[in-house]
A and B are shown apart, each in its own frame.
Chain A
Amino acid sequence: MDTQPLWLTFKLAGITSVLLLVIALPIAYWLVFGKFKGRGIVEALIGMPLVLPPSVIGFYLLLAFSPSHWFGAVIEEYLGLRLVFSFPGLVIASILYSLPFMIYPIRAGLQSLPASLREASYTLGKTEWQTFTRVLLPNCKPAILTAFVLTFAHTVGEFGVVLMIGGNIPGVTKVASVAIYNEVEALNYPAANAYAMVLFAITFIILLVVYSINNRLLRVRQPA
């Protein structure tokens, strides 16, 4: 079995999860504590990847990333980078594709914190930023962990978008889900099965570990 597609899958999932965590924290904070109009529109947009077929995202990204399109042309002109058929392109696509999986759990975690936590922190002279990083975030560790792992696992399971914009290049965009698809197409069932088993086992172990950790964290917070 060629292990390259598996490494590529986990590399993509890892990079996507880290970048998305950085992006999602301020967005989630803003959704919970921000005061602005049109919140419904923003929330609906964030949730779109949950309901849109991945092929829709893939199709629009293929058009946008192509050098014939102004967006693709600008990126190519100024960064010398073609996003279609490239790993950075897959990262951008995965960030869009997994956006709600990172934002929703963190938002729920922040919402569930008692208001007195923030108030106490402000009363003690902490700034908004200090309150967020030192008081609020440490108190929703389980939510952040869940968000991170869901994003990771969801990206591991990404298929439709990658198939549309990846171009199936070994070592660059040929991730495990696409490799499985190729092997099935080539009537090579044993190879497809090998990839599938590895993916199943690894993702199951990841989820198992996380939920065990989370249960322990939650038990600590609720003294019996």
Chain B
Amino acid sequence: MNKLYILAFFVALLAGCSKPSDKIVVATAANVQYVMKEIQQEFEKESGKKMEIVVASSGKLTTQIREGAPFDVFVSADTKYPEEIYKNGGSDQKPEVYATGALVLWSKNIPEADLKPEALTAENIKKIAIPNPKTAPYGEAALQVLNALKIYEQTEKKLVYGESIAQTAQYITTGSAEAGFNALSIVLSPEMKGKGHYVIVDSSLYTPIQQAAILLKHSEDSPKREASEQFYKFLYSAKAKAIFKKYGYK
């Protein structure tokens, strides 16, 4: 009877192990998630290989990669995090910029005509949502805009911080915050179409948001290596560039 138990235990244990999948895993920053779906479709069609997307904020993905998460490619929202991984020996290749993002001001109820960063000081705007500036480049850019327009002191008390661009979008689209800063790629996605109003922020008010990707060491000695390299190349192809453009990236 006891032997049976032990046997059953091991059977259950082993059931959890399946053969390693040959799908490549792409760690994707939240602002790139929608555009990545389309990139995935194109890549799978072109190469016949399969891929999976894991979405989180760049900071969280970097932490996970440093702790040995099984990702093959990391598509970040900035250049700082991939550099960090490269410095720590997570890759043999330097990260490369694949797109430049644009910042928007977005609101559920305020019409475009009245929507401009200078108007955030108004009485009727009680909360302004921005991504956490410490970990999200779009949050950092939002602070630069407020500082450049010299309205940071007046708006600081209104700021609430989403833990990623995606959560910030949630705060804006639910109307929990009257307005907020976000990525153009998010408001242009099919999922967010028609959810409120947005204006593109003058790009001279913040440092360009250059977004880099990096091919990770993880796939080096695995059967996925070829597919990972193929995907990494595809990310910089003319085809991918056209898709990025459609979502407002430069």
Q: Using a CB–CB distance below 8 Å, which chain A residues touch chain B?
A: 62-63, 65-68, 72, 82, 84-85, 163, 167-169, 181-182, 184-187
The reply on B134 being an interface residue by CB < 8 A is yes
Of A72, A85, A182, which contacts B160 at CB under 8 A? A85
Contact B108 A68 (CB under 8 A): yes
Contact B163 A163 (CB under 8 A): yes
Of B127, B163, B176, which contacts A62 at CB under 8 A? B176
Using CB atoms, name the residue of chain B closest to A186: B134
Contact B160 A187 (CB under 8 A): no
**In residues 106-141 of chain B, which contact A (Cβ within 8 Å)?**
108, 126-127, 129, 132, 134-135
Instruction: Determine the chain A residues whose CB is within 8 A of the CB of B175 once the complex forms.
Output: 66-68
Of B59, B63, B132, which contacts A168 at CB under 8 A? B132
Instruction: Determine the chain B residues whose CB is within 8 A of the CB of A187 once the complex forms.
Output: 59, 62-63, 66, 84
Name 12 interchain pairs, CB-CB below 8 A, sorted by A.
A62-B174, A63-B174, A66-B175, A66-B176, A68-B175, A167-B129, A167-B177, A168-B161, A181-B163, A185-B132, A185-B135, A187-B59
**In residues 21-73 of chain B, which contact A (Cβ within 8 Å)?**
57, 59-60, 62-63, 66
Q: How far is the CA of A185 from the CA of B65 in the complex (A)?
A: 12
Contact B161 A167 (CB under 8 A): yes
Using CB atoms, name the residue of chain A closest to B136: A185
Instruction: Determine the chain B residues whose CB is within 8 A of the CB of A84 once the complex forms.
Output: 176
Contact A68 B160 (CB under 8 A): no
Q: How far is the CA of A63 from the CA of B173 in the complex (A)?
A: 10
Instruction: Determine the chain B residues whose CB is within 8 A of the CB of A168 once the complex forms.
Output: 132, 160-163
Instruction: Determine the chain B residues whose CB is within 8 A of the CB of A85 once the complex forms.
Output: 127, 160, 176-177
Instruction: Determine the chain B residues whose CB is within 8 A of the CB of A186 once the complex forms.
Output: 59, 134-135
Contact B176 A67 (CB under 8 A): yes
Q: How far is the CA of A184 from the CA of B59 in the complex (A)?
A: 8
Contact B170 A185 (CB under 8 A): no
Instruction: Determine the chain B residues whose CB is within 8 A of the CB of A169 once the complex forms.
Output: 159-161
Q: How far is the CA of A61 from the CA of B159 in the complex (A)?
A: 20
Additional 12 contacts, C-beta under 8 A, given A85-B127, A169-B161: A67-B175, A163-B163, A167-B177, A169-B159, A169-B160, A181-B163, A182-B132, A185-B60, A185-B134, A186-B135, A187-B63, A187-B66
Name the distance in Å between B166's Cβ and chain A's nearest Cβ. Answer: 12
Contact A68 B134 (CB under 8 A): no
Most buried by A among B57, B63, B174: B174
Q: How far is the CA of A72 from the CA of B176 in the complex (A)?
A: 9
Instruction: Determine the chain A residues whose CB is within 8 A of the CB of B171 once the complex forms.
Output: 167
Contact B159 A182 (CB under 8 A): no
**In residues 153-179 of chain B, which contact A (Cβ within 8 Å)?**
159-163, 170-171, 174-177
Instruction: Determine the chain B residues whose CB is within 8 A of the CB of A184 once the complex forms.
Output: 60, 63
Using CB atoms, name the residue of chain A closest to B81: A187
**In residues 202-236 of chain B, which contact A (Cβ within 8 Å)?**
none
Contact B63 A185 (CB under 8 A): yes
Q: How far is the CA of A68 from the CA of B177 in the complex (A)?
A: 10
Top 6 A-B pairs, shortest CB-CB distance: A167-B160, A68-B175, A185-B59, A168-B161, A66-B176, A185-B135
Name the distance in Å between B164's Cβ and chain A's nearest Cβ. Answer: 9
Contact B160 A66 (CB under 8 A): no
Instruction: Determine the chain B residues whose CB is within 8 A of the CB of A182 once the complex forms.
Output: 132, 134-135, 163
Q: How far is the CA of A60 from the CA of B34 in the complex (A)?
A: 24
Q: How far is the CA of A123 from the CA of B219 in the complex (A)?
A: 79
